[in-house]
Amino acid sequence: MSHTRHNAAPIVGIDLGTTNSLVAVVDGQGVRVLGDEPIMPSVVRFEAVRGCVVVGQQARDEALDYPSATIFSAKRLMGRSAADVAGEASFLPYAVVAGEHNTARVRVPIGEGGGQGEMIVSPQEVSAHILRELGKRASEVLGVEVQRAVVTVPAYFDDAQRQATRDAGRLAGLEVVRIVNEPTAAALAYGIGLGSKKASTIAVYDLGGGTFDISILRVTPATSVGEPAFYQVLATAGDTKLGGDDVDHALVSLFVREIVEQFGLKVRGSEDFEPRTRRALISFAQGVKHRLSDELEAKVLIDLGVGRGEGGRNVYERVVGRDEFEEMVGPWVEPSLRACQAALQDAKIQAKEVDAVVMVGGSTRMPIVQRLVGELFEREPYTAIDPDWVVALGAAIQASILSGDQVEGSVGSSLLLDVIPLSLGVETVGGAVAKLIMRNSSVPARATEMFSTSVDGQVSIKISVYQGEREMARDCRLLGTFELTGIPPMPAGIPQLQVDFLVDANGVLRVSAHERRSGKQAQLQVVPNHGLTQQEVECIERESFAHAQQDMDQHRVVDLIVNARLDLKWIGERLNRHASTLEPEYCKQLEQLLTALGSFVEKAQQDYQSVDANAFYQAKQALDEASVRLQEVSIAHSLRADAENGTGEDS
């Protein structure tokens, strides 16, 4: 007898957006977004009494009355440092300050003008209030308390930003059972919506309020009952600091510049205006942007208050035409198109091979975005599913799959094969990075590599984990560091250190180390203090290509230094020990080869660029080949010693 849990709460899907957020579910009514007004603004107001908050549409509507205490676009602060967001903070009516580990925090005044002090709020806390409100909404509609959710994030969110999202869920009282990349969620919704019966390649162009992603996916539908559909991400690219907010900021800059010129105000920019004025300017900019998606022009009228103008007031008034707007927006769209081209290159396909382009995010409603994306991919973008809804619907479908429910319109379940946006590795001796998991590898992913020590008697090993495409640690981003201690003293090169990397289905990295001879173990869940800056994201791949040959040469020389030093040590020690049993000519040959290799090591340590890597390698090979006889003599001596004394000297 089977038992049906009629009152069991389903796992819901949540799109935690920069501008708006939604919650969706798969139930007897199909795949649907919940709520009479499904789109909830991602806006939170903290009132005078700590813990008393207003979330959503009311907070947005009353933002002009509480500019310093109303927080929006918190997603752009998640998992990032105060320095990362310094450039955009000038447009915000609330204060962004540095918290622990220099992480971005928001300072909220308490009482009129901050007369009762202030409170410092993390972006995770702001997002938690949004998630809690969405969970409450879902519980009310479904009639059962919702406790679990699939939450989406931009594909280019790094480990810190993903962990910050999980933390927000925990603060909201929700178990985040899976983190799914927004483009992948959109592809799930797209697959269910079209009901395609053949394999296809999809480009998901996701441009929201604060972030941009492009993902190239291969979708293979299920062919029979019980078989899963495969959603494999071939490549991803993007920018965690590019979105509709930047268009708002460009319009605000235009308004401020013209206001300053027209009325002779002595201000540097919007940061010199009162918080209420900055909030008003952003609202005017958003209104212009939205109107120009449907109309050819939009009128702006801003009453600046008492002044020298008509009626004793300063009134700024102008008309923004779509042509002028698109000329302003064009340079902002271009980086997204370059990211599309990079993703296509990584996926090893041409734009014309893409079967469909799915548009996701409210910013894709702008005609210039749809036109430029269509020109790049040589096809009209697919917009049948509401771009504001598609991610939440996909998250709900993934939630349904995780709970084992059948999704209406599908043949079987779906298997997600997402990818890692940037390579992961550890620092080795000399400052090089040994990459264990390469970018665009499917997740979950696991990799194992063996390392050893470079110094005699080393009893601890420091393991530094890096993210990036360059060959040297100084050019990559440090994610975390941990230490394996308690290793028994052994000669250099003898310890066997096994390092394991595991990236789970949520994109969270865990690193473990195991010294196999002693059994000592250590591990680290990599949670860096803040995320990638815009410059890091933009430069990381460009620099990896520009410096590829130089980086590879340096990496090769660094590895040669490490291995050559071990050869010099081992061969030198054995030559001193057994020279009396060897021919003088052979000893002289080894000494010359040791000197030659030693000079390469010394020169490379001073300036690696001055060393011919091929000549360095040949010198090492010559010594290795010549030392074979010495190794045979050493082994034979050890065997005799074992037979006579029960111990060997060259173990």
Check pLDDT > 60 for residue 302.
Answer: yes
Q: Full-prediction pTM beyond 0.85?
A: no
Strand blocks (E) in 51-129: 53-55, 70-72, 95-98, 104-109, 118-121
Residue 490: CATH number of its domain: 2.60.34.10
Give the contacts of 520 (CB within 8 A, at least 6 positions apart): 484, 485, 486, 487, 514
What are the tens digits of pLDDT across the range 494-547? 888 888 888 876 666 778 888 888 887 776 555 444 443 434 434 445 555 666
pLDDT band at residue 419 using 50, 70 and 90 as cut-offs: low
Question: What is the total residue count of the chain?
Answer: 651
Query: Lowest mean pLDDT: which of 199-208, 243-252, 518-527?
Result: 518-527
Check pLDDT > 60 for residue 5.
Answer: no
Last residue of a domain, one of 329, 359, 386: 329
Report yes or no on 25 lying in a domain: no
* 524, 552: one domain: no
Q: In this prediction, what percent of the chain has a pLDDT beyond 90?
A: 14
Query: Lowest mean pLDDT: which of 223-227, 365-369, 430-434, 442-446?
Result: 223-227
pLDDT band at residue 409 using 50, 70 and 90 as cut-offs: very low
* Overall average pLDDT of the 319-343 stretch: 89
Which residues on adjacent β-strands are paired with residue 437?
424
Specify the pLDDT at position 533.
Answer: 40
* Cα distance between residue 433 and residue 478, in whole Å: 11
* 518, 614: one domain: no
| Mean of per-residue pLDDT scores for the chain | 79
Q: Is 64 exposed, middle or buried (0-12, 13-18, 19+ CB in 10 A)?
A: middle
* 552, 524: one domain: no
Q: Which domain holds residue 578?
A: 548-645
The dihedrals phi and psi of 460, each to the nearest 5 degrees, come to -150, 150
* 508, 465: one domain: yes
Name the token pair of 513.
Answer: 């180390």
Report yes or no on 386 lying in a domain: no
* 558, 475: one domain: no
Name the token pair of 266.
Answer: 């002595």
Report yes or no on 486 lying in a domain: yes
pLDDT band at residue 647 using 50, 70 and 90 as cut-offs: very low
Q: How far is CA 259 from CA 68, 303, 460, 551, in A?
A: 23, 11, 63, 50
Check pLDDT > 70 for residue 486.
Answer: yes
Specify the pLDDT at position 194.
Answer: 45
Report yes or no on 5 lying in a domain: no
SS (H, E, C) 496-543: CEEEEEEECCCCCEEEEEEECCCCCEEEEECCCCCCCCHHHHHHHHHH
* 252, 290: one domain: yes
Q: Are 89 and 81 in contact (CB under 8 A)?
A: no
What are the tens digits of pLDDT across the range 425-439? 888 888 888 888 887
* Overall average pLDDT of the 580-592 stretch: 90
Name the token pair of 512.
Answer: 């473990």
Specify the pLDDT at position 400.
Answer: 86
Residues designated catalytic: 15, 75, 182, 206
* Cα distance between residue 608 and residue 365, in whole Å: 52
SS (H, E, C) 247-286: HHHHHHHHHHHHHHHHHCCCCCCHHHCCHHHHHHHHHHHH
Highest mean pLDDT of the ranges 216-225, 314-323, 529-538, 544-553: 314-323
Specify the pLDDT at position 650.
Answer: 46
pLDDT band at residue 239 using 50, 70 and 90 as cut-offs: confident
Residue 589: CATH number of its domain: 1.20.1270.10
Provide the number of structural domains found in the chain.
3
pLDDT band at residue 48 using 50, 70 and 90 as cut-offs: low
* Cα distance between residue 363 and residue 289, in whole Å: 9
Positive or negative CA dihedral for 377, 380, 382, 388?
positive
Specify the pLDDT at position 543.
Answer: 59
Matching residue, tokens 């130089």:
550
Q: Are 217 and 183 in contact (CB under 8 A)?
A: yes
Specify the pLDDT at position 28.
Answer: 82
Highest mean pLDDT of the ranges 162-171, 409-418, 521-530: 162-171
pLDDT band at residue 279 using 50, 70 and 90 as cut-offs: confident
Q: Which residue has the higher pLDDT, 126 or 85?
A: 126
Check pLDDT > 50 for residue 591.
Answer: yes
Last residue of a domain, one of 329, 351, 385: 329
* Cα distance between residue 161 and residue 466, in whole Å: 16
The dihedrals phi and psi of 155, each to the nearest 5 degrees, come to -60, -30
pLDDT band at residue 595 using 50, 70 and 90 as cut-offs: very high
Q: Which of 81, 106, 83 is nearest to 93 (CA)?
A: 106
Q: Are 105 and 120 in contact (CB under 8 A)?
A: yes
Q: What is the residue type of 134?
A: L
What are the tens digits of pLDDT across the range 62-92? 887 788 888 888 888 888 888 878 877 777 7
Q: How far is CA 364 from CA 51, 242, 358, in A?
A: 36, 13, 10
Q: Which of 528, 467, 463, 472 is nearest to 498 (CA)?
A: 463
Report yes or no on 148 lying in a domain: no
Q: Which of 418, 438, 442, 527 is nearest to 178 (CA)?
A: 418
Check pLDDT > 80 for residue 227.
Answer: no
By DSSP bridging, strand 12-15 and strand 148-153 are parallel
Report yes or no on 73 lying in a domain: no
pLDDT band at residue 340 using 50, 70 and 90 as cut-offs: very high
Q: What is the DSSP string of 164-211?
A: HHHHHHHHTT-EEEEEEEHHHHHHHHHHHHH---S-EEEEEEEE-SS-
Report yes or no on 563 lying in a domain: yes
Last residue of a domain, one of 271, 301, 329: 329
Query: Lowest mean pLDDT: which of 91-100, 193-202, 208-217, 558-567?
Result: 193-202
Report yes or no on 591 lying in a domain: yes
Specify the pLDDT at position 2.
Answer: 36
Specify the pLDDT at position 306.
Answer: 47
Residue 294: CATH number of its domain: 3.90.640.10
pLDDT band at residue 242 using 50, 70 and 90 as cut-offs: confident
Specify the pLDDT at position 413.
Answer: 46
* Overall average pLDDT of the 617-626 stretch: 91
* 520, 608: one domain: no
Specify the pLDDT at position 429.
Answer: 80
Check pLDDT > 80 for residue 100.
Answer: no
Check pLDDT > 60 for residue 256.
Answer: yes
Specify the pLDDT at position 596.
Answer: 92
* 429, 516: one domain: yes
What are the tens digits of pLDDT across the range 358-388? 888 888 888 999 999 999 998 888 877 788 8
Q: In this prediction, what percent of the chain has a pLDDT beyond 70?
A: 82
Check pLDDT > 50 for residue 265.
Answer: yes
Specify the pLDDT at position 285.
Answer: 87
* 601, 573: one domain: yes
* 567, 595: one domain: yes
pLDDT band at residue 268 using 50, 70 and 90 as cut-offs: low
* 436, 505: one domain: yes
Specify the pLDDT at position 16.
Answer: 93
* Overall average pLDDT of the 258-286 stretch: 73
Specify the pLDDT at position 222.
Answer: 62
* 503, 552: one domain: no
Specify the pLDDT at position 108.
Answer: 85
